Structures are given as structure tokens and as C-alpha cells.
């Protein structure tokens, strides 16, 4: 019996050792997998680092590229386009003006009544109209006849109860957010279509003339007073509300910036005369690039697989169109290196399946169990049953990508301020160093859902602004949210450039 008992004990011990070995082996494998995933995260964190020293290098690079873009056509990745807007609404504008905002698959018509005092918009009416898909690939005449018909119906409906004397002079601001080579405040040539439009007979044609011809065909007497893009409209609205507004930035699905520049600093247009001595410059800053930007392998892959490789590099790092897809690419890498997400979901391979609003919702999930993260992973990516530890990892990835974007956007804004001598360092304007400049109150108008709706993005941007400028200077720089610059701003510019005024820009 003793020998039997000893044998059984030995067998039990061996079995226990085997089980223990399996358990230990499993734990070792799990640790190794987790270590690989953490390695991916650490690599991402290091590649996305934006210490203040690096941000200041980006600031300097932005200012240098602005100079180069103003010096010659093609001299910079920044196009630095002239807008021929040499003065902005002041608040003294009176009357009723219309705006047409065309920049995507919907367009809007607006009627704005101005009271002659700053921020005195007495009333505004808006109507949104989807553009039938077939018109996006039809002819310019078909498209503008549809728009003119809609505008005429809107005008007749809104003015049906008005006195005849109050509607004698109607003028329109056209916000046209497609690539245009501006010829004057009232004219510009379409360079190419984007956003799903492909009307071949319109490329290379003057936009305002086509619209006005359609308005005549519809029987609507309404000359176009201005042709602008959405960023210029945002600057106009910002300046209407606050005279210290010197620049505007849109950070939403896409991104762009414009600012008020001295006319004599626009070297590529020597002899440009404006009565104000200034002109709004449309930077098209989404195309900015510098070796100082912290680029990752995920950014490189995204760019190569995009419809416009080697183009819009800055936009691909900071705008809402792309942030969610960068996070998706990181999750793919992690799922390939380990099985912490379970079997690789086929939905992970779909570009832009993880849109930035979902990223923001995961990033800002403050529930103890991160239930929103769990829900989005299940519903958007078909990744289910992941541990709390893994959900926290996803939140961290969202944080790294968003923080980098916000801090780079802040550096871009400071780059503009440096160019016009509003960053507290004296700046460089027109090639002349200035060290005797006293810091003045400086307002930047800002729009776009990434900034207005994504709290963490906004907080990171402000944090970086304070770091780059220093608190003493930063207190003089105000980022002020505007609402509907592309619509109301267009109407305000129509008022500022109504037929009662003259075109103040001349090129010698």
C-alpha cells in the first residue's frame, strides 16, 4: 500500500506540475503578447512627441513658408492665395443681404438683415437644399439653373410681406469652397472639382459669370457682390463681431486658415494697391509641410493610400477627416502583433470606418468600465469581448493621436501670429525684424466641429498655445468661436462690397 500511495502521490505531483507548467506557459505567452502591444504604443508615443521646442520649430517653419509663398508663385507648399478682400465688415453695414454657400453636397441660401451696429444682425433666415446627385456630374448650366431656381423661390418667400422700397437692391455673397484662382473680389476661375463633383465643362471657367447668367435666366435680379471661400467668411464674421480679429482658422473635417496681410508684403504681386494697405490672404495651410512635423509610419501609409499622395500633409495630421483612420491603423498593427482584440475583424480593413466623432466619444468616455469604448468597438469595428485593460489601451491611442493634432494646430496658429508680429517675439514682417512691438489684443476667429465639439482637442490646443507663447503673451491672444462664417460671413462681405462701394484693389 505504501508503494501504491507513493506512486499515486508522485503521479499527482507530476500532473500538478504539468498543469502549473501550462498555466505558467500561458501567462508567459500573454505577457509576451501584451509586451508587444505596449511596444507598439510606446513607439507611437515617441513618434508623436511634440515638446515645446519642436512646436517652436514648426512655428518658425510655418512663418518661413508663408514668406516664401508670398514671394513667388510656387515658392512654397503654401499657396498663399490673394482674395482681393482688402477691408472687412466693421459693424456699420445696414440693409438686407443674401448669401449662397456652396461647398459640398448641400448648398444653403441665407437672408441677413443688418442693423448698422457691431454684432447687430437683426434677423437671419436659412434654407438648406441637397444637390441631386446627377447634377454633380452634369453641366454647369444644369447645376446653376437648379441653384438659381432655389434661390429665387427663397427670395420670393422671404420677401412676400416686405414693402417694395425695402427690396429694391438685392446683392449676393457667394461662398464657393472649391479650388479657385481669384481674379478679383467678384470673379474667379474654377481650378478643379473636389467633394464628388465632376462637371467637366466648368473647370477653367469663371464661376460668378456662370451663376449670374443662371440668375438672369431665372428672372432674378441679384448681382454677386463677392466671391469668397469659407475661411474668409469666418474672418469676416469674426471681424464684424470684434475689430481685433486678424486671422481665421477652420478645423473640422478639413482645415484651412486665412489672415490679414500688409499689401507691401505680398511680393509676388508688386504694384498691388489697396486703399486699406492690407489684403486677406487665403493660406490653404492644409498643404503645409516641414521636416519638423512628427510623422509616423501610419501617416506615411495613410498618405500613400489616399487619392492625393504627397498633398495636404498638414491636413492629414490635424483634421477630423483623418484622425479616426490613424487610430484604426494603429489598432490593426496591434491586432496583427497579438490576439488581444480576438480574431482580426474584417471591418478593420475598411478605410475611414472609424470616423473622428467615434474617436472623440471613446477618448472622452469617463465611465468606470469604459462602456462607450466597448460599444463603439463592437458596433463600428465588430471587436467584442475585450478586457477593460484593452479598452484603456484604445483610449490611450486616441489620446496620443488627438494630442499631437491639437498641438500642431496650435503651432500653425502661432506661425501666423509670428508672421504678422503678434506672437510677442517681435515677429518678422515683410522681412524686417521688429523688437519694439508692444503686444496687442489679438483675436483669431475659429470654426469647425473638431475644435468646437471635441473638448479634449480644444483643451490640448489651448495648452500648447500657452506653452509656445508663454502665459504673459498668451493672455493677449483670444481664440473666438464664430458660427456660420461660410454663410453669414458671405452676406456680411456682400454688404461691405455692395454696389455702393468701389473695388479698392488695383494691380499696377
Query: Catalytic site residues?
Result: 195, 230
Give the span between the Cα atoms of 261 and 278, in whole angstroms.
5
Local structure of residue 95 (DSSP, 8 states)? E
Give the span between the Cα atoms of 87 and 502, in whole angstroms.
11
Q: How far apart are the first and last CA of the chain?
A: 116
Contact 444, 481 (CB under 8 A): no
What 3-state DSSP class applies to 86? Answer: coil
Give the span between the Cα atoms of 431 and 423, in whole angstroms.
16
Q: Where are the alpha helices (DSSP H) in 72-187?
A: 140-158
The partner residues of 123 in beta bridges, in order of sequence, read 113
Q: Where are the alpha helices (DSSP H) in 370-437?
A: 371-381, 388-419
Give DSSP secondary structure letters for 265-333: G-GGGTTEEESSSEEEEE--GGG---TTS---HHHHHHHHTSSSTTSSTTHHHHSHHHHHHHHHHHHHH
**Residue at grid coordinates 457691431:** 118
Give the span between the Cα atoms of 393 and 362, in whole angstroms.
11
Give the span between the Cα atoms of 293 and 165, in whole angstroms.
57
Rg (the chain; Cα; Å):
28
Contact 274, 287 (CB under 8 A): no
Give the span between the Cα atoms of 300 and 305, in whole angstroms.
9
What 3-state DSSP class applies to 123? Answer: strand
In 131-235, which ranges are E strands? 172-176, 180-184, 187-190, 224-228
Degrees (nearest 5) of the Cα angle 283, 286, 290? 95
Amino acid at each position: 500500500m505504501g508503494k501504491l500511495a507513493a506512486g499515486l502521490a508522485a503521479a499527482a505531483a507530476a500532473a500538478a506540475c504539468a498543469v502549473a507548467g501550462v498555466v505558467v506557459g500561458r501567462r508567459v505567452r500573454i505577457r509576451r503578447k501584451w509586451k508587444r502591444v505596449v511596444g507598439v504604443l510606446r513607439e507611437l508615443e515617441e513618434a508623436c512627441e511634440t515638446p515645446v521646442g519642436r512646436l517652436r520649430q514648426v512655428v518658425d517653419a510655418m512663418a518661413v513658408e508663408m514668406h516664401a509663398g508670398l514671394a513667388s508663385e510656387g515658392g512654397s507648399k503654401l499657396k498663399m492665395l490673394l482674395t482681393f478682400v482688402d477691408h472687412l465688415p466693421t459693424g456699420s453695414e445696414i440693409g438686407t443681404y443674401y448669401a449662397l454657400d456652396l461647398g459640398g453636397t448641400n448648398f444653403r441660401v441665407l437672408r441677413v438683415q443688418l442693423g448698422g451696429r457691431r454684432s447687430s444682425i437683426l434677423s437671419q433666415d436659412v434654407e438648406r437644399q441637397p444637390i441631386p446627385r446627377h447634377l454633380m456630374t452634369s453641366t454647369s448650366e444644369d447645376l446653376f439653373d437648379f441653384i438659381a431656381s432655389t434661390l429665387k423661390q427663397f427670395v420670393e418667400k422671404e420677401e412676400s410681406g416686405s414693402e417694395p422700397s425695402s427690396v429694391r437692391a438685392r446683392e449676393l455673397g457667394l461662398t464657393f469652397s472649391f479650388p479657385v484662382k481669384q481674379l478679383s473680389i467678384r470673379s474667379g476661375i474654377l481650378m478643379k472639382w473636389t467633394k464628388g463633383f465632376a462637371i467637366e465643362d466648368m473647370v477653367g471657367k469663371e464661376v460668378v459669370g456662370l451663376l449670374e447668367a443662371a440668375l438672369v435666366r431665372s428672372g432674378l435680379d441679384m448681382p454677386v457682390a463677392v466671391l469668397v471661400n469659407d475661411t474668409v467668411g469666418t474672418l469676416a464674421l469674426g471681424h464684424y463681431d470684434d475689430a481685433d480679429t486678424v486671422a481665421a482658422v477652420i478645423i473640422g473635417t478639413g482645415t484651412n486658415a486665412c489672415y490679414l496681410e500688409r499689401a507691401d508684403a505680398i511680393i509676388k504681386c508688386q504694384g498691388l494697391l489697396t486703399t486699406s494697405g492690407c489684403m486677406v490672404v487665403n493660406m490653404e495651410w492644409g498643404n503645409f509641410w516641414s521636416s519638423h512635423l512628427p510623422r509616423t509610419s501610419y501617416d506615411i501609409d495613410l498618405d500613400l493610400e489616399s487619392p492625393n499622395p504627397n498633398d495636404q500633409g498638414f491636413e492629414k495630421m490635424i483634421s477630423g477627416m483623418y484622425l479616426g483612420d490613424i487610430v484604426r491603423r494603429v489598432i490593426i498593427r496591434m491586432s496583427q502583433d497579438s490576439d488581444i482584440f480576438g480574431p482580426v475583424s474584417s471591418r478593420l480593413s475598411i478605410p475611414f470606418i472609424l470616423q473622428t466623432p467615434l474617436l472623440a466619444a471613446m477618448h472622452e468616455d469617463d465611465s468606470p468600465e469604459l462602456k462607450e469604448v466597448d460599444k463603439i468597438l463592437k458596433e463600428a469595428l465588430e471587436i467584442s469581448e475585450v478586457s477593460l485593460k484593452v479598452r484603456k489601451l484604445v483610449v490611450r491611442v486616441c489620446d496620443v493621436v488627438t494630442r499631437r493634432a491639437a498641438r500642431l494646430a496650435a503651432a500653425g496658429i502661432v506661425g501666423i501670429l509670428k508672421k504678422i508680429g503678434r506672437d510677442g517675439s517681435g515677429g518678422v514682417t515683410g522681412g524686417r525684424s521688429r523688437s519694439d512691438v508692444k503686444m496687442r489684443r489679438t483675436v483669431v476667429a475659429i470654426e469647425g466641429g473638431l475644435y468646437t465639439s471635441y473638448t479634449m482637442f480644444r483643451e490640448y490646443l489651448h495648452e500648447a498655445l500657452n506653452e509656445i507663447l508663454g502665459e504673459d503673451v498668451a493672455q493677449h491672444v483670444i481664440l473666438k468661436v464664430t458660427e456660420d462664417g461660410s454663410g453669414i460671413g458671405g452676406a456680411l462681405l456682400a454688404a461691405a462690397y455692395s454696389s455702393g462701394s468701389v473695388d479698392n484693389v488695383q494691380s499696377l
